[in-house]
Structure 1
């Protein structure tokens, strides 16, 4: 990993507004146990000095990476049928986005016992989701092949968003990152999920001919551009972040999904996203899962921001 820069100290009113926004995001879903600060001393599945702990602390790249991951999921017809046809995304997109983001962060920062319970609930739900695609292909949400694709697209999205819009990652860091996600992938049932950058690239090429454009993808993009996810003062950046998500997709994926020039970022927009991503990466937020997890393990709240 790169050398960490010193934390960025904001004026108190601005810091408090950001903390309130993060707290609202973390605690909004009462059905989700989002206490990352307990039990005291209990380790996560991934260590604090990992690449994943750095990548997942950045809210901007998490949003961008999450959007990119969902685009890739919806490009696979069986996953699309399960995600779009048998979920609450259309009815309550904000709550679904929150729950998906918190689940991802739980696998990185959550205490092992909490993470195991969450994954157990999710796998039980997956076991009940099955159906048929529009062209008659049966699917099951607990199909190992589909679980591997969902895991791989999520890990791809968060990694590439961080590398593109926050800080570049070298080959060693990328390999560590992929390996760090394997244990929780297996708990989800995604046995055989990519453990290296090369394995992920091979999986993407294997899936190439199965991915397809769909009106559902564009409906999803319309939702995430307009849903009130960010504070009102930051609302203007949300559409840029959706375009930033499309920007990190492989060029051949964009071509297959018909995500053309209309989704390109202008040079000044690209620079704005990069500067925002780099700045946010230096702002410790004590209500965020990363800081909560540090407190749980007896580490300084700004542990992930200290140079070493």
Structure 2
């Protein structure tokens, strides 16, 4: 009887979590992405599938948003066009769907996901408060978003994943992410962990604390759109995300007092919450037939002409 109650709690928690990050059609979407047979961009053993299939992505995704927010032009575009403030869960759901489709979906689904994002980027243009013109399709902005995500997702897995990746597999993850980035229009993305670190270092001079960056940190860390019972676990997750940032980036993020107080316990707190998420999240369905190598089960080739 006790086991039945625990299973019910687990199923209810997992369902609520999936609906938050993937929307009301979460289960149907998950079944389509994971269960549809056909060729994939990435074989089941590729590092990108290991990292993106782990609960540590919750920490990595939050850290990536904080790091991305430090680029004033990128953040101006997000605040003006993405619905970040008015529909934060909708933006999260669109982002998580894109990652799922390009990582786990069929090649056709992945290609359509990239086309959708590129079409949106082509329409997003504007001017920052200091008069700087921007367009979301700018390769420099696309590159910054890619670098921040790749860095934070990999760091999160190394800290909170089921087991840290060895050096060759970490390079493999960066290379896998680069293959998707090229399709989005990122020129010459790094393909090794060392090159990723160097690329981030080169962009440090462009980063600063702006009103938009401070507002993003306040929204994500101090006033998340969550019911009260979820606030404490989320605060531990948020502290883990801040702790994950490079020290130079952490110093630029405007932190609320409660997150500063939680930083000394960020690692154990983060591990506890990630373990709970991992326990509650149901395993994804599997495709009825695994694609053969000839069908595209290897790492994707570069698009023609790139």
In the superposition, the TM-score normalised over structure 1's length comes to: 0.81
RMSD: 2.8
Structure 2 Cα separation of the partners of residues 114 and 140 of structure 1: 26
How far residue 281 of structure 1 moved from its aligned partner, in angstroms, is: 4.2
**Aligned pairs (5 A) from 1:102-117:** 102-117=97-112
How far residue 279 of structure 1 moved from its aligned partner, in angstroms, is: 5.6
In the superposition, the TM-score normalised over structure 2's length comes to: 0.82
Q: Is the 8 A contact 1:52 1:108 kept in 2?
A: yes
- Match of residue 180 from structure 1: 176
- Match of residue 61 from structure 2: 66
Q: Is the 8 A contact 1:38 1:111 kept in 2?
A: no
Give ranges in structure 2 of 5+ residues lacking alignment: 292-306
Q: Is 1:160 the equivalent of 2:155?
A: yes
- Match of residue 305 from structure 1: none
Q: Is 1:250 the equivalent of 2:250?
A: no
Structure 2 Cα separation of the partners of residues 65 and 163 of structure 1: 10
- Match of residue 149 from structure 1: 144
- Match of residue 96 from structure 1: 91
Q: Is 1:15 the equivalent of 2:10?
A: yes
Structure 1 Cα separation of the partners of residues 43 and 107 of structure 2: 11
- Match of residue 76 from structure 1: 71
**Aligned pairs (5 A) from 1:288-299:** 291-292=284-285, 294-298=286-290
SS in 2 for 1:63: helix
SS in 1 for 2:251: helix
Cα distance change of structure 1 residues 295 and 285 upon mapping to structure 2, 3 Å threshold: farther
Give aligned pairs, total: 282
How far residue 11 of structure 1 moved from its aligned partner, in angstroms, is: 3.3
Structure 1 Cα separation of the partners of residues 280 and 233 of structure 2: 18
**Aligned pairs (5 A) from 1:176-255:** 176-225=172-221, 226-228=223-225, 233-255=229-251
How far residue 263 of structure 1 moved from its aligned partner, in angstroms, is: 3.6
Q: Is the 8 A contact 2:60 2:154 kept in 1?
A: yes
**Among residues 260, 274, 297, which one is paired with 1:277 in the alignment?**
274
Give ranges in structure 1 of 5+ residues lacking alignment: 1-8, 300-308
More helix by share: 2
- Match of residue 300 from structure 2: none
**Residue deviations 1:236-290, cap 9 Å, x none?**
210111121111111111223455986443444531322332464466613xxxx
Structure 2 Cα separation of the partners of residues 269 and 224 of structure 1: 16
Cα distance change of structure 1 residues 298 and 45 upon mapping to structure 2, 3 Å threshold: closer
